[in-house]
Amino acid sequence: FEEFPSVLDINKIRDILPHRYPFLLVDRVIEYQPGVTAVGIKNVTINDNFFPGHFPERPIMPGVLMVEAMAQVGGLVMLKPEAGGSKEIFFFAGVDKVRFRKPVIAGDTLVMRMNLVKFQKRFGIVKMEGKAYVGKNVVCEGEFTLAM
């Protein structure tokens, strides 16, 4: 079996991101260059709280939650880990050119890569590009704006 070695485990992620259950959508990080790029993993299970309503007969992960999970990986790129949690916060400010290519279902491993494109430090505006994969298939992609 292919192994995804963790660079940041869930405890380190919780030290960086302010999100908590049920809205923390990143389980671990397998590649991490602060201020540059990160690759995060979301293990999608039938126990995720969105599946009973989306859709009961054919459960798929909502696209907006894929986008949110990708934005959280983007936040990991920009925030710095500190003892007791990050003192910084970011806001999801917008998305452009988002495309959903394939449905994500229970049992899938969602692998999300977020890359910094531009950081306007004076205004605290971050532009990123992201792609999410299941296996070798792109399932979601888009351009993200975060406000620091």
**Residue 81: its pLDDT value, please?**
67
Per the domain annotation, does 100 fall within a domain?
yes
Per the domain annotation, does 113 fall within a domain?
yes
Write the DSSP symbol of residue 141: E
Number of domains in the chain: 1
Per the domain annotation, does 90 fall within a domain?
yes
**Residue 77: its pLDDT value, please?**
94
- Of 27, 57, 30, 63, which Cα lies nearest the Cα of 44? 27
Per the domain annotation, does 119 fall within a domain?
yes
CATH of residue 110's domain is: 3.10.129.10
The span from the CA of 89 to the CA of 75, in Å, is: 8
**Residue 89: its pLDDT value, please?**
83
**For residue 130, which phi and psi values (nearest 5 degrees)?**
-140, 150
Per the domain annotation, does 5 fall within a domain?
no
Q: Tell me the mean pLDDT per 10 residues along the chain, length 148.
A: 81 92 96 95 96 92 98 92 65 96 98 97 95 98 96
To the question of pTM greater than 0.85 for the whole model, the response is yes
- Concerning whether 54 is annotated as a catalytic residue, the answer is yes
| Domain housing 71 | 10-147
**Residue 82: its pLDDT value, please?**
59
**Residue 84: its pLDDT value, please?**
53
Per the domain annotation, does 2 fall within a domain?
no
User: Which of 54, 106, 125, 141 is an active site residue?
Assistant: 54
Which residues are within 8 A (CB) of 116 and not within 5 positions of it... i.e. 6 or more apart? 35, 36, 37, 77, 78, 126, 127, 128
**Residue 56: its pLDDT value, please?**
87
3-state SS string for 50-77: CHHHCCCCCCCCCHHHHHHHHHHHHHHH
Per the domain annotation, does 75 fall within a domain?
yes
**Residue 7: its pLDDT value, please?**
94
Per the domain annotation, does 3 fall within a domain?
no
How many C-beta neighbours within 10 Å does residue 147 have?
13
As beta bridge partners, residue 93 has: none
Give CA angle at 25 (98, 34), nearest 5°.
80
